[in-house]
Chain A
Amino acid sequence: MNQDTQVSFEAVDGSEAGDGGVEHGALLSRLCEAIFSGDADHLASVRDDVLEVAGADVLVDAVAVSANFYMMTRIADGTGTPLDAGSIEPSAEIRELVGVNNFTSRREAHL
């Protein structure tokens, strides 16, 4: 991977949208969706897919990253954390693309 890699936000939008230029992007997105759903059978099926396609190390590390954001989202939303002042303008287009502007949790830094 290098800084010239072309990526898009498809995999962030949902697993049906494609890889977005990220290796196994759609599969990793599907793993996130299965973890969120809490459906044990669906999750077991997606785990098997990740094991087969990417391996056990990737499965464990991917689950760890996703699980970490069950912490970070609750810290941000439980404390009223505003967007960082320096990221409001640079992230405006991305926020529009990934469709988060209507979330109840929208809070921007006071400039």
Chain B
Amino acid sequence: MAAYATELPIRPDLDASHAEVARRWATSGAWWSGAERLAMVEEVRRARDGDQLAPWVSPSQIDGLIAEDHVLPSAAVDAIWRLTNHPGTLTAEWHASILSQGVNPEAYVELVGVVSQANAVDRFADALNLTRVDLPEPSFDEPPQLTNDSATVTSHWVPTVPIKGPNVVKALSAVPFEGDSMNLLLEAQYVKMGSLLGDLVSDQNSLTRMQVEVLAARTSKLNECFY
């Protein structure tokens, strides 16, 4: 089923990647259930659509903003809003404060994956004035919540597995399902993994590689991302 109904020439592989990622959000992950993962996507939408909070204000501190019976713990909701609206302000101390509230380090990695994907997919729809992708019914399978024994904290704040590639590709490696979802979107919206550093000159769909890199770098700078 197509993700978007529009006369705009959205490439089939791009449309299919968004439909597939939405399906993956609704499945049970390594640490969170399908219902919890969809709640993360809904919370990204609330964070983007509501009144903007200052970076240091947590939504859970504001009376009535977050339902008391929310399916996600307060620390997760606070992390989703901060990741969505103020990613350039994050620090190691902030990350440690989220974990200190009981969020498992690998569960946090999974949350970053889902939240980041939702930001990309919804931003695409919003920028083209399209209806955001429909969210499927969630899976009711329990997440296994098994620690990845090969993941350790080395170069990043989060545990990673020693895999080849740029550090940002390694970032979600403790939760391979989220790394795979990231690659799905990255290849449809940016460049194929093999061309990331291996082919810097070939055109990418209707854009030259230099146009692609201007878009990538300008957007990264607007988001105040040093990496």
User: A residues engaging B (CB < 8 A)?
Assistant: 1-3, 5, 7, 9, 11-14, 20-25, 28-29, 31-33, 35-36, 40, 43-44, 47, 55-84, 95, 98-101, 103-107, 109-110
- 11 A-B pairs, CB-CB below 8 angstroms? A5-B210, A21-B210, A28-B214, A61-B204, A61-B207, A62-B211, A67-B120, A71-B117, A81-B227, A84-B166, A110-B155
Provide the bound-state CA to CA distance between A91 and B221, in Å. Answer: 15
- Contact between B167 and A43, CB atoms less than 8 A apart: no
Contact of A57 among B168, B205, B215 (CB under 8 A): B205
Main secondary structure of the interface of A (DSSP, over half): helix
Which range holds the interface residue count of chain B? 35 or more
- Contact between B226 and A7, CB atoms less than 8 A apart: no
User: B residues engaging A (CB < 8 A)?
Assistant: 8-11, 14, 83-84, 87-92, 95, 109, 112-113, 115-117, 119-121, 123-124, 126-129, 155-158, 166-168, 170-172, 182, 185-186, 188-190, 200-201, 203-212, 214-227
A79's closest neighbor in chain B, by CB? Answer: B171
Provide the bound-state CA to CA distance between A65 and B59, in Å. Answer: 30
A66: chain B residues at CB < 8 Å are 123, 127, 215-216, 218-219
- Contact between B205 and A61, CB atoms less than 8 A apart: yes
- Contact between B225 and A77, CB atoms less than 8 A apart: yes
Q: A81-B155, A103-B224 are known contacts; what are 9 more A-B pairs with Cβ within 8 Å?
A: A1-B210, A24-B211, A33-B218, A43-B129, A56-B8, A61-B206, A65-B219, A79-B158, A101-B226
| Nearest chain B CB to A104 CB, angstrom units | 5
Name the residue in A20, A56, A80, A106 with the highest tally of chain B Cβ atoms < 10 Å from its Cβ: A80
B113: chain A residues at CB < 8 Å are 75
A83: chain B residues at CB < 8 Å are 167, 226-227
A62: chain B residues at CB < 8 Å are 207, 211, 215
